[in-house]
Chain A
Amino acid sequence: MELNAKIPQGPLKDKWSFYKDHARLVNPANRKKMDVIVVGTGLAGSAAAASLAEMGYNVKSFCFQDSARRAHSVAAQGGVNAAKNYKNDGDSVYRMFYDTIKGGDFRSREANVYRLAECSAQLIDQAVAQGVPFGREYGGYLNNRSFGGVQVSRTFYARGQTGQQLLLGAYQALMRQAAAKTVTLYTRHEMLDLVIADGKARGIIVRNLDTGEIERHSAHTVILATGGFGKIYYLSTLAMGCNASAIWRAHKKGAFMACPSWTQVHPTSLPQSGDYQSKLTLMSESLRNDGRIWVPLQTAEKRKPNDIPEDERDYYLERRYPAFGNLAPRDISSRAAKERIDAGFGVGPQLNAVYLDFSKAIKEQGKEKIKEKYGNLFDMYRKITATDAYTEPMMISPAAHFSMGGLWVDYELMTTIPGLFALGEANFADHGANRLGANSLLQACVDGYFIAPYTISNYLAGEINSKRLPTDGQEFVDAEVQVRAHLGKLLAINGTKTADHYHKILGKLLYDYCGLSRSKKGLMYAIHEIKQLREDFYQHLKVPGTDDEMNGELEKAGRISDYLEVAELMCQDALTREESCGAHFREEYQTPEGEALRNDEQFCFVSAWKWQGADKEELLVREPLHFENVELTVRSYK
């Protein structure tokens, strides 16, 4: 089987223009006859829904939260990248493209990444026009900060709430369309299945989370912008509700999953403090601009951090990566932290953290300046830990964060199911094996505002003669029967263990065997354990209540039933990739210095997985990656 990424012809810098010039259009009179379903109201979903509605399509927008403003895009703190070169420091579209491709360890498509960089400048324009209050210099012009993995300042920010402010811009654009009745909003609705008719995505089955009612919705195209599934690790930086269910159920209907094991583990999260803990709070990577990371030179260090003299501290990022220092990319920083912690140099009550120290920056710039840059992060740190980071170093630790993997999409962001698109973190596209900081907000926005309007129209132009699919057709009936059967199955077990019980065990397995470092032995063990856990789940799970009412536990159980399948595929994916690249570090494949060892001869491809049915191994389909504009080099930040 061959995967066609549909990369447009021509030189790299002209591909997107060529596509836009030749994409098919839908006449405005026809647009209002066409229905578009968008699942998810984060940046990608809201941006796509609002933009398509502005064009005149009928949009139905779904989210599981109680308002479209609450999706987890809000939590991105540090910023959004754009190649504006406002700092006159040598930035350009090509340089941003190169940084992103290199940051992803040469495991993404050149054409996609170039388009991301190309559209970045336009996004800043759009956000400013919407009223996003980005940080500005005293002269009134937009300010930038630098971020991990690059040597220019191209990150735009709105204090420590860039995601929240960008999402409010997109949410407001969406609400404007809701007021104009071009968008119908369905909050507190969770997608439980995809409906396919004549081989094309034509609708979804959703559950109203307030009433338990199952609903059928039909459309001419379905867009999934349902975010990442890092919450599969249980302890993660994600929101409690983040899940893989929408993309996984689409996967089981024929959409390939690409590189599902590539999960970014963020270096600057707060460490775990106990078993009761439900999430790990992220501290923005932007802190690494001014904070220095260190551990004591001695193991079992008992002194308080401020009592440890300078020459007894190991600034291990500055030591190992002098060129990038504390701004080394996330995968490298997280792995370096794990290396120190595993070697016994960890700090904090559980010896699972490293210090992030601002004393030098405060001495040089003054407390006020640091407060202005990171005030809300320091406040947040104090609220959670009751520690003042202005006087004592923060304690941080790596945590599961971002899914580079997701539904396989072509250049048009269409999955292997015609008419089904995946946007933002839900897809695998631009970030390769490691995402650079401040590129996630960018990708979500660019997918939603600037790519989907062209590619969705191009698809819908071929659908103008297809009638609205009635929701009483067999396809809908069958899908609903399936959904109800699964809910019934979960409720009928009536065992003795809660959904969270399984989630915590699964998360621990993934952290240990499919996290920052992986090995053949560990992955095979994990696959075995996951299968057993899944069996146990269907024997001993307990879900209280019924399916025709509000039932938070039933929602959780459904998501975890999917996670138990996703986890196995993640391990399978990690097992078959016998190389180290980006966030995927196989212990068997490393340089003598402990750096990732890529194998471009054998593994320069995207792994796309095809569901073959329950209890059957998934089929691996390879999409080879071709590099015509960059040379594959060893990714060095030394």
Chain B
Amino acid sequence: MKIYLKIWRQSDAGSPGQLVSYELDQVIPHMSFLEMMDTLNEQLILNGDRPVEFDHDCREGICGQCGMMINGRAHGPIPHLTTCQLHMREFKDGDTIYVEPFRGAAFPVKRDLRVDRSAFDRIIMAGGFVSVNTGQAPEANGIPITHEQAESAFDSAACIGCGACVATCKNSSAALFTSAKIAHLAKLPQGKMESGKRVLSMVAQMDIEAFGHCSNTEACEVECPQHISVLNIARMNWEYTLSRILKK
């Protein structure tokens, strides 16, 4: 396959960036998208050019580190897939592919396709945990949790923190990410106790960071590699309202 690439190159957060064109021959359909990028980088280095910086690590869809806009879509054309799981068989010989960094004011570009997602860490710092110290835990079977409840908590907990929800949202809202953690912990007796305080604090942090508001377009759910449901956002809003009412 021959592939034409238009890749966003930007040397640092303060410099302007631009799309630069590249051509790659002999792309194999079984290659992953990132292996195609490796091949391009190998060429660039040997030609004396600076390779394209992009985030990636586990390359099996679980670490949440990779992520780029591919033809305008977070993680590329296939829904519910991380960039590292995307394969070149999804493209055709002669295709032109646009590759840009994840979008969002809260995700400033560091270089090329690498963005700064530390805002997510700060949202978790604001309360995305159960306040339990090592050594305090009671016997694990002490509090039974129904199968359905545990499975539902897992569905929320499965978020890998990649940021595709933000990148794909026209408002760059972090509602899906934030709500997934709030819902995960609110659904379990261990986390429920702190739920009221947690939701206010995490939502406040979300607002401090440069994320936009959720306007319920549900675009995030379409791209989420872990199928995190927008029902989590509804749960967050419910927890938020409940907490505000109880406070007043």
Residues of A within 8 A of B (CB): 47, 50-51, 54, 65-72, 74-75, 84, 86, 122, 124-131, 133-142, 158-159, 161, 164-165, 168, 171-173, 175-176, 178-179, 185, 187, 210, 239-241, 273-274, 276-279, 281-282, 380, 383-384, 386, 449-450, 453, 496, 498, 500, 542, 544-545, 550, 552-553
From A75, A131, A136, B185 is in contact (CB under 8 Å) with: A131
- Further contacts, 18 of them, CB under 8 A, given A137-B147, A276-B28, A383-B61: A71-B63, A74-B62, A74-B63, A75-B60, A84-B140, A128-B137, A131-B190, A133-B150, A136-B150, A158-B157, A172-B130, A175-B121, A178-B125, A239-B63, A278-B35, A496-B46, A544-B49, A552-B51
A32 to chain B, nearest CB (A): 16
From A133, A139, A175, A542, B154 is in contact (CB under 8 Å) with: A133
| B2 beta carbon closer than 8 Å to chain A | no
B39 to chain A, nearest CB (A): 6
- 27 interchain pairs, CB-CB under 8 A: A66-B116, A67-B120, A69-B64, A69-B124, A70-B58, A70-B64, A75-B62, A131-B191, A133-B151, A133-B157, A138-B147, A141-B141, A161-B158, A171-B124, A172-B124, A172-B129, A176-B131, A240-B58, A241-B57, A281-B59, A383-B81, A386-B87, A450-B134, A544-B44, A545-B50, A550-B53, A550-B110
B219 to chain A, nearest CB (A): 21
Rank and list the top 10 A-B pairs by shortest CB-CB distance, nearest first: A140-B144, A172-B129, A129-B137, A125-B137, A133-B154, A51-B134, A128-B140, A133-B153, A136-B150, A179-B125
Cα A252 to Cα B44 in complex, Å, equals: 34
Main secondary structure of the interface of B (DSSP, over half): loop
Would you list which residues of chain B between 32 and 69 have a CB under 8 Å from chain A? 32, 34-35, 38-39, 42, 44-46, 48-51, 53, 55-65
Cα A70 to Cα B153 in complex, Å, equals: 20
Check A542–B45 contact: CB distance below 8 A: yes
Cα A84 to Cα B120 in complex, Å, equals: 36
Check A279–B28 contact: CB distance below 8 A: no
Residues of B within 8 A of A (CB): 28, 30-32, 34-35, 38-39, 42, 44-46, 48-51, 53, 55-65, 81, 85, 87, 89, 110-111, 114, 116-118, 120-121, 124-126, 128-141, 143-147, 150-151, 153-154, 157-158, 160-161, 184-185, 188, 190-191
Check B50–A279 contact: CB distance below 8 A: no
From A74, A131, A158, A550, B58 is in contact (CB under 8 Å) with: A74
Cα A135 to Cα B28 in complex, Å, equals: 40
Cα A544 to Cα B48 in complex, Å, equals: 7
Check A164–B137 contact: CB distance below 8 A: no
Cα A125 to Cα B59 in complex, Å, equals: 31
Check A54–B134 contact: CB distance below 8 A: yes
* B124 / chain A contacts, CB cutoff of 8 Å: 69, 171-172, 175
Check B51–A544 contact: CB distance below 8 A: yes
Cα A51 to Cα B134 in complex, Å, equals: 6
Known: A68-B121, A173-B129, A179-B126. A278 touches B28 (CB 8 A): no
Check B125–A75 contact: CB distance below 8 A: no
Cα A71 to Cα B45 in complex, Å, equals: 28
Check B140–A125 contact: CB distance below 8 A: yes
* B46 / chain A contacts, CB cutoff of 8 Å: 496, 498, 542
A443 to chain B, nearest CB (A): 16
Cα A172 to Cα B120 in complex, Å, equals: 12
* B49 / chain A contacts, CB cutoff of 8 Å: 544
Check B35–A276 contact: CB distance below 8 A: yes
